[in-house]
Amino acid sequence: MKFYIITGEPSGDLHAANLVEELKKCNNELEFRAWGGERLLAQGVELVKHIKETAFMGLLDVLKNLGAIKENLNYCKQDILKYKPDALILVDYPGFNLKIAKFAKQKGIKVFYYISPKVWAWNKSRVSKIQRYVDELLVIFPFEVDFYQKYGMKVTYVGNPLLDEIGKGNFSFSYSTEKPIIALLPGSRKQEIEGILPEMLRIVSHYPNHQFVIAATNNFSKQYYHSFIKENNIKLVFDETYGLLSNATAALVTSGTATLETALFKVPQVVCYKTNWLTYFLAKNLIKIKYLSLVNILMDKLVVKELIQKELNKNSIKEELDILLNDNKEILTNYDKLIDLLNKKGASKNAAQFILKSI
């Protein structure tokens, strides 16, 4: 049995790799071909394209790379036909994956969507595409079941894969210090890092008794990160985000999956977001939810402070970080409630068993 997997960013690569691991446990004769990254490679999956070539963020980045995106879509379609998979497994990455879902459906290939597009936040027009082109929708947030069922769709909550990944424990961390650590998670994309990391670093000089550590990714060089660093009290660790969070006292976190990861590690956090004005203007008019971070969305209240655009400045970051360092009981209590809300463990295993039973 052959599977073709498509994901376009590091978090998707992680969850796809864990899914492959569980599928192999069920049947070690399965074959895989994928668009992904280092995690899928580590599972022995043959990569068609690496996420370094496919991760485009924001409207301007997408517009600048329309030619490359179109070329990738055409190549992907031809590669699917050549590979002749028994099923297609799509992981997040909706702008690309929904187009491929339509193509696969037309060719009679069964389509599973694991970690669904966040259509509940914006672009609900995609719901009709999911209805038409996706055979099985596997979601990782409990509220998504009610959302999709309102549209008459068949949907299954398999649990949240972050619970399992973080539950493994024993994360590597190559740095040691006697000072309490403040983790900086500036994101994994160049646009995020260049817009948000400089703002995070402005407060370093105010905390001489703390050690700031940046969660860096191997997608960029040490020299690249050092181009932002002006203070001595800043260290880098590469691809050790979980190790860093397991040792952190507090964190400044770029909005995205990392906000939920930080909460599951029970690290008090300030959520940071800044992008170019056009992307922000369009997003502000399209997004239909009250909050930006997954923690607040899931809890449906302001659990973690969100500093967005102009609010992301030295004074605001320092003010919010001081609050966390002085009193974090309320945020930790809400983190416990969040973990109870997610409730279901074994997401990758549940998804793998569901997929194999459905074919």
41 pLDDT more than 90 = yes
Domains along the chain?
2-160+344-358 (3.40.50.2000), 181-342 (3.40.50.2000)
Find the range with the poorest average confidence among 138-142, 228-232, 265-269.
Answer: 228-232
Q: Higher confidence at residue 192 or residue 54? A: 192
CB 219 within 8 A of CB 57: no
> Is there a contact between 234 and 208 (Cβ–Cβ < 8 Å)?
no
Mean pLDDT of 209-222: 94
Q: Which residues contact 172 (CB under 8 A, 6 or more apart)?
A: 240, 243
Residue 243, phi then psi, degrees to nearest 5: -65, -40
* pLDDT at residue 69 tops 60: yes
| Whole-structure pTM value | 0.84
pLDDT, one tens digit per residue, over 315-344 is 999 999 999 999 999 999 999 999 999 988
The pLDDT value recorded for residue 66 is 65
Asked if 165 contacts 245 with a C-beta cutoff of 8 angstroms, the reply is no
Query: Does the pLDDT of residue 57 top 70, yes or no?
Result: no
* Average of per-residue pLDDT across 18-33: 96
pLDDT in the model for residue 11: 83
Q: What is the mean pLDDT of residues 155-160?
A: 95
- Look at 270 and 124; give whichever has higher pLDDT: 270
Quick: pLDDT tens for 243-274.
999 999 999 999 988 999 999 999 999 999 98
Query: What's the DSSP call for residue 248?
Result: E
The whole-number pLDDT of residue 125 equals 73
Structure token digits, residue 212: 């700031």
Question: Binning pLDDT at 50, 70 and 90, where does residue 68 land?
Answer: confident
DSSP alpha helices (H): ranges in the chain?
Answer: 10-26, 38-42, 58-64, 66-83, 94-106, 126-133, 143-149, 161-167, 190-201, 222-226, 241-245, 257-264, 277-286, 294-299, 314-326, 329-342, 347-358
Smallest Cα–Cα separation from 121: which of 297, 332, 316? 297
How many other CB atoms sit within 10 Å of the CB of residue 66?
A: 10
Give the pLDDT band (50/70/90) at residue 118: confident
Please report the pLDDT score of residue 32 as a whole number.
Answer: 98
pLDDT of 297 reads: 92
